[in-house]
Amino acid sequence: MTDTVKYVLDESRLPTHWYNLAADLPEPPPPVLHPGTGQPVGPDDLAPLFPMALILQEVSTEREIGIPEPVREVYRQWRPSPLYRARRLERALDTPARIYYKYEGVSPPGSHKPNTAVAQAFYNREAGIRKISTETGAGQWGSSLAFAGALFGIEVQVFMVRVSYDQKPYRRAFMETFGARCIPSPSDQTNYGRQVLAEHPDSPGSLGIAISEAVEVAATSADTNYALGSVLNHVLLHQTVIGLEAKEQMAMAGDYPDVVIACAGGGSNFAGLTFPFIGDKLREGRSVRIVAAEPAACPSLTRGTYAYDFGDTGKMTPLVKMHTLGSSFVPPGFHAGGLRYHGMAPLVSHAKELGLIEAVALMQTACFEAGVTFARHEGIVPAPEATHAIRAAIDEALRAKEEGRPRTILFNLSGHGHFDMGAYSDYFAGRLVDQHYDENELSAALAGLPKVE
């Protein structure tokens, strides 16, 4: 019996195309609307923010979209990423389930985020853009765009949620090492930031505010574009390399998952792993359960409303139909910063409405407990976001044991926790508690959803 079972895909098998779920859906997702006119947005509406290549990907219904060679070049630094079978964890759980995980923490910035950061930097560079503004919460996305910017010669400006900026100076130093500039948000560099500061001089910031600031900079500067690390169709598209590789690796293992699990904040690592399997379901009728693991403190899929909403707090973005807690909803300050977003990617939300996926909401202490168990048996310290996927996978494996029925579980280990050890310290010291959102605040945020007929 071998303990380390690693499925390594040869570099020659690095995907040549991304997979576009939109091509296989039984009905198209609802259109994105212009907040002023209520009409579907056209490519020109988005042109101040994104290069045309990305705008076309956003609305494409082609099943396969070619990955440009310079993007594959950079992917090759760490891709294909390994897929492991968690033999030691299986033994510790004494489960009849087979547990596999795809590990995206092998990228230099440490998560799945560079899969899209590299693509976005490339297309912007091709369009002649030399400056990009963006936002970051936990820091995984900012770090990844900083990395990609350095490789493609693009200046990156990151609006970092102030509470993270203050609490995570090491994340900031990491981005600065790649040459990016970090600005605590709300800042005095944008109209929206100044407006927030005037009302709340001590605002700790939020992802929604930081998005508004980054969008404003791009919308008002001719030479600057905007980049988003999740939610949008083109972002999810770029992440599908994860699932495409995983499918080949599961075939190497001579296995196929009964359940595919990923954590879900904005939805990008979830879509990345699962969309190719949802494609199998739709095209070939494969029987596979797809599970989104979200935080109980910010449960857009399990408690949100499926409605048109803004992507940001400043109401500058177009309106997208998604599972949302309301763009004014501010989740409690739990430790999986990458999952603290009020909405869920429209494509993921649409898949949920179509009954293609299910969702579970998990408490953070149970997730950290699962993360520590995983580290002690599999040797990798997971990011707090990824512990949600681990918790859901362990729960599924324990159910298999209870029911005495084996099954094959695949989950996405979306990143390592090297920059999140403060959260682990809190967990070990008993300072980390389960946090609940305020029901009244949620009701108010949902009541404030924009009216769209």
Answer for the pair 423, 368: CB distance below 8 angstroms, yes or no.
yes
Whether 313 contacts 340, CB under 8 Å? no
- Choosing from 28, 38, 40, 108, the residue that interacts with a copy of itself (CB under 8 A) is 108
CA torsion 212→213→216→218, rounded to 10°? -110
Positions 247 through 276 that interact with a copy of itself (CB under 8 A): none
> Which residues make Cβ contacts (< 8 Å) with residue 312, sequence separation at least 6?
208, 209, 211, 212, 215, 327
CA distance 269 to 114: 11
Helices 421-428 + 364-378 axis angle, to 10? 100
Q: Minimum CB separation from a copy of itself for residue 337, in Å? A: 16
Per CB under 8 A, 166 contacts a copy of itself:
no
| Three-class DSSP labels, 369-385 | HHHHHHHHHHCCCECHH
Least spacing, CB of residue 428 vs a copy of itself, in Å = 6
Q: Which stretch binds a copy of itself (CB under 8 A): 192-200, 268-276, 288-296, 416-424?
A: 416-424
**CA 176 – CA 147 distance, rounded (Å):** 10
> How would DSSP label each residue in 279-295?
HHHHHH----EEEEEEE
**Closer of 3 and 223 to a copy of itself (Cβ):** 3
**CA-CA distance, 129 to 53, in Å (whole number)?**
13
Lay out the site mask for a copy of itself across 137-156 (x = CB under 8 A, - = otherwise).
Answer: ----------x--xx-----
**Which residue type occupies 356?**
L
Task: Candidates 178, 192, 275, 341: give the one binding a copy of itself (CB under 8 A).
Answer: 178
310, 424, 432, 442: residue in contact with a copy of itself (rule CB under 8 A): 424
Q: Kindly tell me which residue out of 16, 61, 220, 425 binds a copy of itself, with binding defined by CB under 8 A.
A: 425
Going from the C-alpha of 306 to that of each of 40, 326, 354, 361, the distances in angstroms are 18, 10, 12, 17
Under rule CB under 8 A, residue 419 binds a copy of itself = yes
Burial (CB count within 10 angstroms: exposed 0-12, middle 13-18, buried 19+), residue 16: exposed
Whichever of 172 and 350 has its CB closer to a copy of itself, that residue is 172
Residues 236, 307: Cα–Cα separation, whole Å:
20
Decide: is 2 part of the binding site for a copy of itself (CB under 8 A): yes
Residue 181 is a binding residue for a copy of itself (CB under 8 A): no
Stretch of residues binding a copy of itself (CB under 8 A), selected from 191-199, 223-231, 244-252, 414-422: 414-422
Nearer Cβ to a copy of itself (86/209): 86
Give the binding range for a copy of itself (CB under 8 A) out of 23-31, 323-331, 400-408, 420-428. Answer: 420-428
Question: Which of 18, 174, 270, 310 is close enough to bind a copy of itself by CB under 8 A?
Answer: 174
Positions in 363-402 near a copy of itself (CB under 8 A): 371-372, 375-377, 379-381
Using the rule CB under 8 A, give the single segment among 22-30, 174-182, 225-233, 393-401 that binds a copy of itself.
Answer: 174-182
- Minimum Å gap between C-beta 84 and a copy of itself is 8
- Contact segment (CB under 8 A) with a copy of itself among 241-249, 330-338, 411-419, 433-441 equals 411-419
Contacts of 392 (CB under 8 A, 6+ apart): 261, 291, 293, 360, 362, 411
- Closest to 206 in 3D by CA, of 217, 215, 216, 196: 196
CA distance 32 to 346: 9
Please give the residue ranges that form the binding site for a copy of itself (CB under 8 A). 2-4, 6, 8, 11, 70, 73-74, 76-77, 84, 88, 106, 108, 110, 147, 150-151, 169-174, 176-179, 371-372, 375-377, 379-381, 417-419, 421-422, 424-425, 428
